[in-house]
Structure 1
Amino acid sequence: MLCLFYLGTKLGMTQIFDENGLVIPVTIVQAGPCMITEIKNIEKHGYSAIQIGYSEVKESKLNKPNLGHLRKNGCPPFQYLTETRVADTTNLTLGQIVSVQDLSIGQKVKISGKSIGRGFAGNQKRHNFTRGPMSHGSKNHRQPGSIGAGTTPGRVIPGKKMAGQLGNKQVSVKNLAVVHIDNENNLLVLKGSVPGKSGNLLKICP
């Protein structure tokens, strides 16, 4: 059975040439190997799901609850654990290795991860606002301008686009095509860009 998701690490971006000589921007992702560390069922847990672990580390790097949970299921210590609900778990077993061998070239995947954090940003950078005039004594260059009416309603409406935190959010990119698969090194080459900088943790859903 094809696993419903994988965990991986973004290694970086490069470009390749197809058979027509066209340049294709690609992202290289270290996808797995992952291991199924827990299988939940409706009878015991109230819902059906699987949990997978990724990136094996030393035992000293984990806290005691996670270490005990993995030891109980006979799994090595993993840095990352992620759970996703599934409809059917009959063909999945505890300790099963999940790798990119189940994927195929040309298949579309969805990639989820945290975007690059850009700190506190103004309206021009964060929301693509237009700046004010830069000459003739104007003192409104990058200010937000009016943020609401006066007497009525006499307050700022919630959700108003203003300066604040830009990036560092969980985002998803759909329909990224698999260009190449390296089964020996568990590498995925995807057409296009994925969230985050190099080293970012990614969730890969076929």
Structure 2
Amino acid sequence: MTVMWDDHGARFPVTVLQLENCQVTANIKTVRKDLSEYHAVQVAATDRPAKTATKQMLGHFKKAGVDPKRIVKEFPVTPDAHVPIGTTLSAVHFVPGQYVDVIANSLGKGFQGTMKKWNFKGLRASHGVSVSHRSAGAIGAHQDPGRVWPGKKMAGRLGGVRTTTQNLAVIRVDSALDLIFVRGCVPGIDDAHVMVRDAKKKMISVARVNHAKGDFDKLLPKGILGLPFPAGTKEMAKELPSVIEAPTHRRSPFLPIS
């Protein structure tokens, strides 16, 4: 993580993400039971030595014509958005000003008590509580029901689970180094793999609603005229500036209130 300053001098935190040789390894098309079609693009990232990959995955990568990768994910797309196999994606696939969701495994915090795990306020710090200030308190319910209800919030292991941070704004992209600057923090340890997708709530859902209403000017966030279709490739990056930054939509704090 680092910090940036907007056009008005306001300081805000950003997280720097890097695309490590992301390449398309397959285009997926399946037919569901209701005869509808599912389309997806499979993307692999981060080269790995061939001796550390399984024979099955080595055959898969060889068929796609790419080097062995450490991570493989697929992203649902529309039928007209399939990308040729072997295409290398660039940071310009993400447009400054759009919103994304970042998915990764959260930090593992080990075995924690109820105050840290569930935000319990704890017991009283005086008058008869003795040395039980951070305990969970009673967990039963007398003779009836005579047991602990399933799902009771108790102490246990915290973190280390799949977590999604939603609606992070893309502030800057650097196609020379394949860097993406997103506003705010993301889950996971340093140098961990994360999955970045279009924001489901702030982009995809809003676009569907506005499309149904006929408000085609509101399909994309404010200030964005279009997204790379079907994908932002290395060839597309050569035609654009190496660093692209989104203008701030924040009102200047030095202007008088009207």
Matched, 1:58 2:13: no
What is the letter of the counterpart of residue 41 of structure 1?
A: K
Q: Return 5+ residue gaps in structure 1 as ranges.
A: 1-12
Q: Greater helix share, 1 or 2?
A: 2
Asked if structure 2 preserves the Cα contact closer than 8 Å seen for 1:123 and 1:163, the reply is yes
**Equivalenced residues, count:** 192
Q: Given the two structures, how large is their TM-score scaled by the length of structure 1?
A: 0.86
Determine the C-alpha separation between the residues in 2 that align with 1:149 and 1:118: 30
When the two chains are superposed, the root-mean-square deviation of aligned CA atoms in Å is 1.7
Instruction: Tell me how far 1:139 sits from its aligned partner.
Output: 3.4
Instruction: Tell me how far 1:165 sits from its aligned partner.
Output: 1.2
Q: Given the two structures, how large is their TM-score scaled by the length of structure 2?
A: 0.70
Asked if structure 2 preserves the Cα contact closer than 8 Å seen for 1:121 and 1:165, the reply is yes
Q: Return 5+ residue gaps in structure 2 as ranges.
A: 32-36, 199-258
**Residue 76 to residue 89, structure 1, CA distance change in 2 (3 Å):** farther
Identity, % of aligned positions: 35
Matched, 1:25 2:13: yes
Determine the C-alpha separation between the residues in 2 that align with 1:153 and 1:111: 42
Matched, 1:110 2:126: no
Greater than 3 Å deviation, 4+ residue runs? 134-137
Instruction: Tell me how far 1:90 sits from its aligned partner.
Output: 5.3
Greater relative contact order (Cα 8 A, min sep 6): structure 1 or 2? 1
Q: How does 1:1-206 map to 2 (within 5 A)?
A: 13-42=1-30, 47-88=38-79, 91-136=82-127, 138-206=130-198
Q: Give secondary structure in 2 for the equivalent of 1:204.
A: strand
Instruction: Tell me how far 1:85 sits from its aligned partner.
Output: 3.0
Determine the C-alpha separation between the residues in 2 that align with 1:160 and 1:20: 48
Instruction: Tell me how far 1:83 sits from its aligned partner.
Output: 2.0
> For residues 148-170 of structure 1, what are the alpha-carbon distances to aligned partners after superposition, in whole Å with 9 as ceiling and x for unaligned?
21211111111111001111111
Q: Greater strand share, 1 or 2?
A: 1
